[in-house]
Amino acid sequence: MTPWPVQALSLLKDAAGRLAQLIPDSKIPNIPKVAATQDTLNGIVNGVFFIAGAISIIFVIIGGIRYIMSQGDAQNISRAKNTILYALVGLVVVTSAFFIVQIVIKTAQG
């Protein structure tokens, strides 16, 4: 007996194949054609990573302000340190993701 995920995948493949036969590419209405260049895609990727990095830096600043304003209260100091820590971890993740995406883009370009 075939497991149900394999059966479901087989049914989906069959349905997609039949649908593709029924609707030729040229007859699908209202589907815009997009001609994105590599520069456009790089700009979008760089913009997204820039915004994510800026948000991380803003949270580091917010954490610093919270730390200064805590007035020695242990709970507020802990919250401020956690804000700074998580913002820095987020910045490291964003930076790592940026470099990984750049490597993938360079590899895909050939």
Every domain of the chain and the residues it spans: 32-109
- Window from 10-19, 78-87, 89-98 with minimum mean pLDDT: 10-19
Residue partners of 77: CB distance under 8 A and separation at least 6: 67, 70
Give per-residue pLDDT as tens, 14-72.
Answer: 776 666 666 665 555 666 666 667 778 788 888 999 999 999 999 999 999 999 999 98
Q: Global pTM?
A: 0.61
The CA angle 4-8-14, to the nearest 5 degrees, is: 145
